[in-house]
Structure formats: structure tokens, C-alpha cells
Amino acid sequence: MQEIKREDLIAKAAQLLADGTVDRVIGWKKGEFDYDVTPAVFTSKEELENEFVWNDFCGANFSKYLRKEAEKTESKAAVFLKPCDTYSFNQLLTEHKFDREKVYAVGVPCNGMLDDSKIKAAANGISSVSEENGKVAVETLYDGKITLERNEMLAERCVNCKSKKHVAYDELLGEDGEVLDSARFDEVAKIEAMSADERFAFWQNELSRCIRCNACRNICPACTCEKCVFDNPDSGVENKAIADSFEEKMFHIIRAFHVVGRCTDCGECSRVCPQNIPLHLLNRKFIKDINGFYGDYQAGAEAGSRAPIVDFTKEDLEPGEAVERGGENA
């Protein structure tokens, strides 16, 4: 497969700006360190050449920025989308969350993104991170050069990548991949195998770390409410604090319920959590159940598709049956 490099993305972005297809490009901007990458809007070739970055740390999903940009002006914005990002893109289209006419989507292949926290755990004082013969080479302040296995440094969602195939784009750089047969439900199965008490203890332990920073909600492509119930002082559930030990579970469980059938399993919630709570497992449990109850369904695979949860068919499982089968699926 032909490898797509930073220069290719810059050239594409510069060309789209130059020929007037778009007047701005949503991309990744380099920061202080190699792993320090921030979503940004670029408007000129100079900016792109100086600050645009495409590396193993361009994990951020652009959904929130894409919606913001699409609302700003009548002109088009270009956006780079990794395969997993295209699922969010389609899902937002399904929900009419942005005007497709205002976005020019450029698909970019992805070899899996790295998790900087895994690298930091393995290396003290990182001066630089680069790829060297398929491995991750880290220059450190204290231990010289360290070489790490790329597979071991991958972000969780990339370890369990569900698809290398772009499901939406105007233009694709490089070749498209395939939908993968991932092991992403294995972790869910492990939790399902626990006794109810063990499972409760598991989530109690994980969710008790929550600091209510709302990062998971604010990055989530599926969290599209104009006004979140948890931001509404009149809702009676608005809370920045853990008023009691049940409070934080309520927030995460309500959020998980609210994105059922719409969550594409992009994994951003877990990526951004400052407390390393595996929030994606809640969403995956729902996806697994939907698959089990209604047949395989991947949110975002197809724009305009109706999630089984909001689409009645006569073949649908009766609620009672779902409860009964809960034993095997739950």
C-alpha cells in the first residue's frame, strides 16, 4: 500500500485552497512535542507548511470542529478523515447535524494511532518520538534512545480497530482498506462473565475516579444536544460534583444510554478521560447487545441508516424476550 505522508496531505490541502474548493482546512497542528497535536483550522499554504502535522498522534476526531465550521460561513471547509472518523461523519449526516454541502471530506488511510500515555509510561522525559523500521523510537532525556513495539503503543481503539475502510469521502488519498473482524467485544464479554456483584464492583471502581470534567461528553461526536441535561441547573440533575457515590454512575450511564444506536465506537471518550476510565466499554456493551438482539448494526456505516432502536419492524424482539435473553447477552 502506498504510504501517505504529511507532504501529500499538505499538497492536497493547499490545492483545495488554491482552486477555491474550500477556504479553510481542518487538520492537526504541531505543538511543543511530537505527541502534542491540536486540532486547528488552516487557511493558507504557509500555515500548512509551518504547522500542519500528520503523524502517529493525530488521533483526535474532528466531529465537533466540523460541525462548528460548517455553521460558520456559506463557504466550504475541507476536513481530513481517518477511516473511523468517517463513521462519525456519516452518523452526524444521518442526524442532520451539519450541511454536507459545506464540507469537503478527504479520506486518509490510518495505520493505527499511538497512545502517548503508553509511551510516557515506558519512557521518562521524552525529547522526540519517531517511527523507525516499524517500531517507535523515543529519544529520552535520561535513558538515551528507547525502541518500543508499535503494537504495544497503539491506542486501545486502534488495537481493536473495527475498520480501515472509509465509509464517506469526497476524495480519498491512497488506497482504501477493509472492514476488520476486530476483537473489540472480548473485553465486554469478560465483564459479562462476571457475577452481578463483581460487575458492580468493577464499575464502582472505574467510575469512582470520575472528576466530572465532562471531557468525554464534550469530545463525543454523538453528544450533540444543544443543551445537555447535566448543564441545566433547572433539571435537578445538573452537577459538577459527586454529591454521592451514585452520582457519577448516573452521569455515565445516562450518557451511554443516550448514545445507544448512535455511538460509532470511535473511542474518543476513553482517549480523553484524564482518569483512564474505560468508558468505551459501556458503549460497546450496548453495541454488542444491539447486534445480539437485532442483528449486526454498525452506526455510521451508512448515512441515513435507521438504528434498530429507533426502527420498528415486526420481526423485532419483544421486550419480554429481550429480558429473558438478557441472561446470555447481559
Instruction: Please count the CA atoms within 13 angstroms of the CA of 106 that sit on its side-chain side.
Output: 24
Nearest distance from residue 40's CB to another protein, in Å?
6
- What SS3 state is found at 330? coil
Taking the C-alpha atoms of residue 327 and residue 254, their distance in angstroms, rounded to an integer, is 22
Taking the C-alpha atoms of residue 224 and residue 171, their distance in angstroms, rounded to an integer, is 26
Taking the C-alpha atoms of residue 29 and residue 290, their distance in angstroms, rounded to an integer, is 38
Backbone angles phi, psi at 260, to 5 degrees: -55, 135
Taking the C-alpha atoms of residue 11 and residue 67, their distance in angstroms, rounded to an integer, is 24
Q: How many CB atoms lie within 10 A of CB 215?
A: 17
Residue 208 DSSP label = T
Using the rule CB under 8 A, is 201 a contact of another protein?
no
Cβ proximity to another protein: between 21 and 117 the closer is: 117
Nearest distance from residue 206's CB to another protein, in Å?
8
* x-marked contacts with another protein along 234-273 as a string, rule CB under 8 A: x---xxxxxx------------------------x--xx-
Backbone angles phi, psi at 67, to 5 degrees: -65, -40
Nearest distance from residue 242's CB to another protein, in Å?
6
Contact window for another protein (CB under 8 A) among 36-44, 160-168, 291-299, 321-329: 36-44
Chain centre distance of CA 137: 25
Using the rule CB under 8 A, is 233 a contact of another protein?
yes
Nearest distance from residue 267's CB to another protein, in Å?
12
Using the rule CB under 8 A, is 72 a contact of another protein?
no
Using the rule CB under 8 A, is 231 a contact of another protein?
yes
Nearest distance from residue 118's CB to another protein, in Å?
12
Using the rule CB under 8 A, is 212 a contact of another protein?
yes
Taking the C-alpha atoms of residue 279 and residue 277, their distance in angstroms, rounded to an integer, is 6
Using the rule CB under 8 A, is 214 a contact of another protein?
yes
Span 144-183, contacts to another protein by CB under 8 A: none
Nearest distance from residue 247's CB to another protein, in Å?
9
Cβ proximity to another protein: between 152 and 247 the closer is: 247
Listing from the earlier edge strand, what are the strands of the sheet with 103-107? 37-42, 24-30, 77-81, 103-107, 171-172
Q: 253 burial class (0-12, 13-18, 19+ CB within 10 angstroms)? A: middle
Q: How many CB atoms lie within 10 A of CB 330?
A: 13
* x-marked contacts with another protein along 292-321 as a string, rule CB under 8 A: ------------------------------
Q: How is residue 23 written as a grid cell?
A: 477556504
Using the rule CB under 8 A, is 60 a contact of another protein?
yes
Nearest distance from residue 64's CB to another protein, in Å?
6
Residues that bind another protein (CB under 8 A): 31-33, 36-41, 60, 64-65, 120, 124-127, 141-142, 209, 211-215, 217-219, 231, 233-234, 238-243, 268, 271-272, 274-277
